[in-house]
Structure 1
């Protein structure tokens, strides 16, 4: 198996997860800024690997499998860290919605592929918008501090609520698209 540049970037994103966790728990005042920067770097490589793959036609089956896994792992671990530090019912609920949707849609995609209807649950524009809002929200939540008078953490909370709403909406779209196949007798 040849590793393409997009796949190497995806692997790098996965390797950033333990770095993010380690930095998050370091006993220094700057670790929130470093954790936000690490998460933002990972989010940027997500965009970059997709752009390179499309632009230079560097597709691989392994990369197609690994990219969404990297995305879901990164988001899940980052949200766990945020809830660890800000253990409110609101933060836990929003995080549970986002993580729960990711697990559900992954299972749905796997099942749809097994029944030969995987084309019904492809990533749509709404899912991409959800991802962007989610990545900005998590970066703000990890950063935590006010910046230039802006309440970055509060902005992150609101953006996470928007991301959770988009998560439910796009999840509903996926389920609705898959419903005819799900209703068939097996």
Structure 2
């Protein structure tokens, strides 16, 4: 299947999942994983449509949380709490005048996606915001793709500019992505 066909398939599958329940299960696993690694500066995302929502993590794990704001040049990072505005696609994002921080403060980045594969490749929405953002992070930052097991596919097509996540978080737990080179 092409990426466009996979996106349509993933949206249909995800629409039929118990997203709220899965989000809470994944948040519980994330809280344990992040605590074991003492990660205290975590970039969340605002759930869009039927995406898994990382927001429940904030009540389970004490840390400093941040949200991204998409700009034409990439993602900006804003500390929470901050003023939020509704994006044209319907999700909340930091207001343009909200304080910003440099990405160097981040220890973990939670990454949304329509689907993932065991190697950590992600099927996004095709705009490249997260790939550009992930490519600029130091290798010490934990990158975690949040997905339901039903959307974990054996393999996804990927382009040279795509950046895989290092860990996958599902309702079954958090596990390292299987690197193709080892």
Q: TM-score, normalised by structure 1?
A: 0.27
* Greater per-residue helix proportion: 1
Larger of the two Rg values belongs to structure? 1
Q: TM-score, normalised by structure 2?
A: 0.27
